[in-house]
Structure 1
Amino acid sequence: MAQPSSSTNRNGCSFALHRACLELQGAATNIIKVIEQEKNGSEAAGKEQSEYQESIINALTVENFQLKEENGAAKNKLISNLPEYFGDEYGIEIKLLGEIDISPFISIFTRRQTAKLSNDSTIMKATEMCTRWQEKIKNPAWSPFKKVTSGGIQKEIVNDDDAELKKLRKEMGISVFKAVKKALEEINEHNSSGRYPVAKLWKVEENREARLEEMMQCMLEKTTPKRRKGDNTDGQNAGCTK
């Protein structure tokens, strides 16, 4: 069977993305309607009012969850189908959140390198150790987290006093410890159930996940022919370039 062409994949992705955006707009419209209903029903009294407000909150929660799911699906489609549209020149790159940075491992093994070890052997040892810790993070039986309350809000953070992490810090130093801790924080925030690294489109300068509209702006800049000097311009693209 013939494989679909690159242009076909892109057209299909663009159609799916457009459809996802329409669904997002529809979900937002529904949320506004629900809020208006809440305002109109504000004169209800007693138990009925309480039950009504609870139903509104539940409806908004469901709508918000669906909105996030659809938004995430559209972003994932962009990452898997059109990765070439993003890069340093646009200020948005694909980043694996939850993946341990191997650089501190290489640095510490290089400093401890002996005459008997070649550079290749040093890198191999660093890679092996980094891989072991990545596998450890994937293990749901290991949960180096603790719950804290700040401003009345409870959240889960990495427990620096976890026995495994304390041992790592003592044996390998603060830089390796921080690399593993950062990966744990990212995993806990973005994929706590799966415990494996996930690809996200990342706004580099602002160190955050890119919004869907920023991704689409990048695609527009990539596909729109650049104007020649002397051409009139109606405005500047603000969502993508550095």
Structure 2
Amino acid sequence: MEDQGHDCNELQKLRKLVAKLAMEIDAKNMRLFYMEEKYDQLSTALKSMAMDKRKLQQDHAREIERLQSVILNSEKTKLELDNQRKEVELRAKEVDEREIQIKSKHEKLDSLMRELEEGGDELQSLESLNQTLISKERTTNVELQDARKALIRTLQGINDVEADIRIKRMGEVQIKPFRDACLKKSSAGDWQMRASTICSSWQDILGNASWHPFKNRVVNGKLQEVIDEDDGKLKELRGGWGEEAYEVVIKALMELNDYNPSGRFVVSELWNYKEGRRASLKEAIEYLVQRWTAKSMKRKRSQAQTQNTTAV
């Protein structure tokens, strides 16, 4: 019986121990559960803190970029302002220089006005002299033109084809190329009359002011009037009567365009055939004087020879 009682006591102790251990296990489980909850909370908080940290880092990086941009823009703005300041200073300097120039010009103008006021009579005298000179120049030009016309009339009466100074009929078509062309085409019949008729026909064509075989072309940077080689009449002339006939017609046309573009009729001109240019009044007078002197000496020699013959 004692053994049974002893066993019962042991069993109760074991039960109490098991119950105590169970309670301790439950308490530990509760603490473990609490710690797991705390861990989860801390883990969530750490994750949130990490996200906040990354966000702060991104915000910080963006702010640094913004500050760098602000600094860069500030430097650009500073440079622009510095350039504007220099430009304003330069313009101010130019304005000052311009003001000095204007002031100097005003002073010169005032001085000139005073001189003009003081020399009013002299100015009127100079104006009168200027008008007199202009009038004399016009009179001289008229006299020179009259003298040139008189020389032309005089030389027209002299038939000296060897002289350097002769009359040239500007705008007159030369007949020789047409004679040569007619002779080549047919030596039979009155080819000379035919050449004369064709030459006269082209002279009439040149005199027609409505015919204008020219076109505008830029030559050496300037707009000039040149011969239109595609003109129908000129193409017909070149094809029918040859290059030489074409050249003499073109030459006469250019002379008319230079000497008488409005009237388109032949104009007599003093001409230096030796140098191929318009002769001056001096050259024409010298030629007439030399011709008169030569004729005078020839006449004197002839008279002397006659006298010697009579005396013998």
* Cα offset, 1:86, TM superposition: 7.7
Q: RCO higher in 1 or 2 (8 Å CA, sep ≥ 6)?
A: 1
In structure 1, what is the equivalent of residue 243 of structure 2?
174
**Residue 26 of structure 1 aligns with which residue?**
none
In 2, Cα distance between equivalents of 1:64 and 1:185: 30
Q: Among residues 257, 281, 287, which one is paired with 1:188 in the alignment? A: 257
The CA distance in 1 between the partners of 2:184 and 2:172, in whole Å, is 23
Q: For residues 143 and 212 of structure 2, what CA distance do their matches in structure 1 show? A: 30
Corresponding residue of 1:99: 172
| In structure 2, distance between residues paired with 1:126 and 1:187 | 22
Identical-residue share of aligned pairs (%): 31
State the superposition RMSD in angstroms. Answer: 3.4
Residue 220 of structure 1 and its aligned partner are, at CA, apart by 2.2
What letter matches 1:71 in structure 2? Answer: L
Please give the alpha-carbon distance, in whole angstroms, between the structure 2 residues aligned to 1:226 and 1:180.
Answer: 43
The Cα of 1:223 is off from its aligned counterpart by 3.0
Picking from 74, 80, 88, the partner of 2:153 is 80
Q: Does 1:163 align with 2:232?
A: yes
State how far apart, in whole Å, the 2-side matches of 1:149 and 1:66 are: 39
**1:53 equivalent in structure 2:** none
Structure 1, residues 214-240: CA drift from partner, whole Å, max 9, x if none?
111112223335599xxxxxxxxxxxx
What's 2:54 paired with? none
Q: Give the Cα separation in 2 of the matches to 1:198 and 1:103.
A: 20
Q: Which runs of 5+ in 2 are unaligned?
A: 1-107, 111-130, 301-312
C-alpha deviations, 1:73-127, integer Å up to 9, x for none? 321111114545684454101111111011010111101106xx32xx1011111
Higher helix proportion: 2
Distance in structure 2 (CA, Å) of the matches to 1:63 and 1:147 = 39
Q: Which has the larger radius of gyration?
A: 2
2:205 corresponding residue in structure 1: 136
Give the total of aligned pairs: 170
Amino acid at match of 1:136: I
1:216, 1:44 → 2: CA distance? Answer: 51
Structure 1: distance between partners of 2:216 and 2:135: 26
With normalisation by structure 2, the TM-score equals 0.47
Cα deviation for residue 71 of structure 1 reads 3.4
Asked whether the equivalents of residues 86 and 94 of structure 1 are also in contact (C-alpha less than 8 Å), the reply is no
Q: Secondary structure at the match of 1:142?
A: coil
Instruction: Sort the Cα spacing of 1:164 and 1:89 in 2 relative to 1 into closer, same or farther, 3 A.
Output: closer
Q: Secondary structure at the match of 1:173?
A: helix
The 1:73–1:162 alpha-carbon spacing in structure 2 relative to 1, beyond 3 Å, is: farther
Alignment TM-score, normalising by the size of structure 1: 0.59
Task: Choose which of 176, 183, 199 in structure 2 pairs with 1:110.
Answer: 183
Is contact 2:155-2:166 (8 Å) kept? no
Between the aligned partners of 1:164 and 1:62, the Cα distance in structure 2 is 47
